[in-house]
A and B are shown apart, each in its own frame.
Chain A
Amino acid sequence: MRLAVCLCLVPDTASVVGFLDGQIDLSRVNEVMNPYDEYALEEAVRCKERFADSVVTVFTVAPASAKEMLRKALAMGADYAVHVIDTPVSDPFQTAKVLSQVISDFYKKTLPDIIFCGKQSTDFQSAQVPSMLAELLDITAVTGITRLHVSAETVQVEREIEGGFESFELHTPALFSAEKGLNIPRKTSIKAVMEARKKTIELLSFSLDEPRRVAMTQFQPFERKKQCRFLADEKELVRFLHKEHALF
């Protein structure tokens, strides 16, 4: 099988996003592989382990600093990495556009059997790139999957929806985006890290002539602080919620 995985770089959820003179300050941010992309990559590597002669290629549109993330991906089991640098993208549409071009160019005539993405990035949480990419490549997609089973004929996937489950059976080529719960990503061993150094990271740059469709501006601190009113007992609390606020 030919498997492609799209990765993106996000601030580690534990890092501090601060503000300096009214501007957002990302200098103390540690960047890592998007957690949802880890599920996507893990699933691709598991497919590779099940089917002989499979190749996992990872793609990212990110600054040069993403090299470390790609090394980790190669250590987790990817075979080859394509790193699109010097290509500033400022919204999901531009990202999907670049990825679709790069993936089409890389695979020439036949698209990969499965493309895996994370459900969304943890920084902006738009969850747009996977479905846009599938549409641009003209393939079927199921987003937010929690189970995947590949058989000789078809692929079966399952996902959670509000108040239930939904399952699909489809043919490849297809794109799936991974939700938490799909698998537990492996830890990389020192041996795997050493071996990953021998694998190739191909550098590309790309010129994009499509303008962005969404602008993100005016970052400001999200002030949530309130003055908590400490109460002595439960009856008092219920009285406030019921009488004063009529919440139930």
Chain B
Amino acid sequence: MNHYLVFLEQRGGVVKQASIELWNMLQTYAARHGAFVLSGLLLGSADLQQLDGKLYGDGSIFYTNDSRSDGYNLEHYARFIAETFTQQACTALFFAETVLSKELTPKLSIRLSASLLSGVPQFDQSGCDSGARRAVYSGAALALMQSACSPKIYTVSSFPSFEVHAPKGQREFIALDQNRPSLRYELLSVASQLVMCQGAKDLTEADIIVAGGRGMGGADGFVLLERLAELLGGAVGASRPVVDEGWRPHSEQIGQTGKIVAPALYFACGISGSVQHLAGIGACTLVALNTDRYAPIFEVADYGIVGDVHCILPKLIDAVKDVLKKK
């Protein structure tokens, strides 16, 4: 029986939504195919009660309330994960794709002599043993990535609109022994500090994204997008020219040299739809607002309104308000 270990990433004591979604996605596959059991691993003193009602299916969650694991330390994390993986005789290791996992997983793949598939969007029906299809060459092509050896490590792109079909199940929480010799803390040459920005919604975890392009005309135009995003509980994104002009920060850039996102609904406002921008958008319902009827964005959109975003957006915001009021 395959045994999959899911890394539940916490930052500042909060377990990442993307990790919880990954766990539930794998439980959905387990319920469908039943070919593996699942365990979780949580490092750092996060309150375990925050997971109540969020995780589905059966499995063990290994955790450590070791405050030394609160802050992320590459070497310390790598050791803990590698050791747990080996001791629990796991066959595959799963991470939500984040800045942290992108740094950790290549290191772990060397340590565990494992294959590593990064940025897997979603596995196909048969689970993950058959590999995963992923966009390459700026989204011009899809390629099949397959592991050529075992064990296997995967980082999985966030997919907020995934529908969970798994039993409620039961999780058993197991505290890990932190005093094993190999895990004893050594003086490491790294000191780190974390600053979280209040209220900043993470693009890669957003259900709804309101993105703006050059057609917004300037930084001021984004006020409308912020208002719409706030109304819908979504996040604001931007295309590359917008970031290059300095209208928005790089953390909001979507596309080949920015973030890869997979919301359920994507508003492209004043975005022409370059291949590089589209490379950052996963399968979703796409709404395009643009003055140019022949802009490439309309070729990939589900719904479109031709016109000036500055005229459309206020009306759109009012229409959304009306609908939400009736709820």
A20 at the interface (CB under 8 A from B): no
**Whole-angstrom distance between the Cβ of A156 and the nearest chain B Cβ:** 9
Taking A125-B119, A166-B195, A226-B299 as contacts, is the C-beta distance between A218 and B148 under 8 angstroms? no
A211 cross-chain contacts in B, Cβ below 8 A: 148-149
Tell me which of B191, B250, B301 contacts A180 (CB under 8 A).
B250
CB interface residues, A 221-248, toward B, < 8 Å: 221-222, 224-226, 228-235, 237-242, 245, 247-248
Nearest residue (CB) in A for B298 is: A228
A66 at the interface (CB under 8 A from B): no
Verify A238–B320 contact, CB threshold 8 A. yes
**Whole-angstrom distance between the Cβ of B144 and the nearest chain A Cβ:** 4
B164 cross-chain contacts in A, Cβ below 8 A: none
Verify B146–A214 contact, CB threshold 8 A. yes
Verify A140–B142 contact, CB threshold 8 A. no
B141 at the interface (CB under 8 A from A): yes
Verify B232–A248 contact, CB threshold 8 A. yes
B5 at the interface (CB under 8 A from A): no
B302 cross-chain contacts in A, Cβ below 8 A: 226, 228-229
Nearest residue (CB) in B for A225 is: B299
Verify A164–B194 contact, CB threshold 8 A. yes
A181 at the interface (CB under 8 A from B): yes
A30 cross-chain contacts in B, Cβ below 8 A: none
Taking A217-B144, A219-B142 as contacts, is the C-beta distance between A231 and B304 under 8 angstroms? yes
- Greatest chain A CB density within 10 A among B72, B98, B189, B194 is at B189
B1 at the interface (CB under 8 A from A): no
- Main SS at interface, chain B: mixed
Bound-state CA distance A64–B118 (Å) is 28
Taking A126-B118, A130-B106 as contacts, is the C-beta distance between A213 and B99 under 8 angstroms? no
Verify B115–A162 contact, CB threshold 8 A. no
B137 at the interface (CB under 8 A from A): yes
Bound-state CA distance A164–B202 (Å) is 9
Nearest residue (CB) in B for A243 is: B323
B119 cross-chain contacts in A, Cβ below 8 A: 125-126
B115 cross-chain contacts in A, Cβ below 8 A: 213-214
Bound-state CA distance A233–B301 (Å) is 16
Taking A234-B316, A241-B265, A241-B287 as contacts, is the C-beta distance between A217 and B143 under 8 angstroms? yes
**Whole-angstrom distance between the Cβ of B283 and the nearest chain A Cβ:** 9
Verify B276–A238 contact, CB threshold 8 A. no
Verify B304–A215 contact, CB threshold 8 A. no
Chain A residue total in the interface (Cβ 8 A) = 79
A2 at the interface (CB under 8 A from B): no
Taking A134-B107, A166-B192 as contacts, is the C-beta distance between A228 and B146 under 8 angstroms? no
A143 at the interface (CB under 8 A from B): yes
Tell me which of B144, B195, B202 contacts A218 (CB under 8 A).
B144
CB interface residues, B 298-313, toward A, < 8 Å: 298-306, 312
Q: Produce 1/0 per residue, A121-161, CB < 8 A to B.
A: 01111111111101110001111101000000000000111
Taking A140-B190, A168-B190, A214-B148 as contacts, is the C-beta distance between A162 and B202 under 8 angstroms? yes
Nearest residue (CB) in B for A130 is: B106
B288 at the interface (CB under 8 A from A): yes
Taking A160-B99, A214-B116 as contacts, is the C-beta distance between A221 and B205 under 8 angstroms? no
Verify B191–A212 contact, CB threshold 8 A. no
B219 at the interface (CB under 8 A from A): no
Listed A/B pairs (7) with beta-carbon separation below 8 Å:
A166-B72, A166-B192, A169-B190, A211-B148, A213-B148, A215-B146, A237-B319
Q: Other than A142-B103, A231-B303, give 11 A-B pairs with Cβ distance below 8 A.
A: A132-B106, A143-B99, A163-B11, A168-B191, A221-B140, A221-B142, A238-B319, A241-B285, A242-B323, A247-B208, A248-B233
Chain A residues proximal to chain B, CB less than 8 Å: 11, 13, 16-17, 19, 24, 35-36, 92-93, 96, 122-132, 134-136, 140-144, 146, 159-171, 179-181, 211-222, 224-226, 228-235, 237-242, 245, 247-248
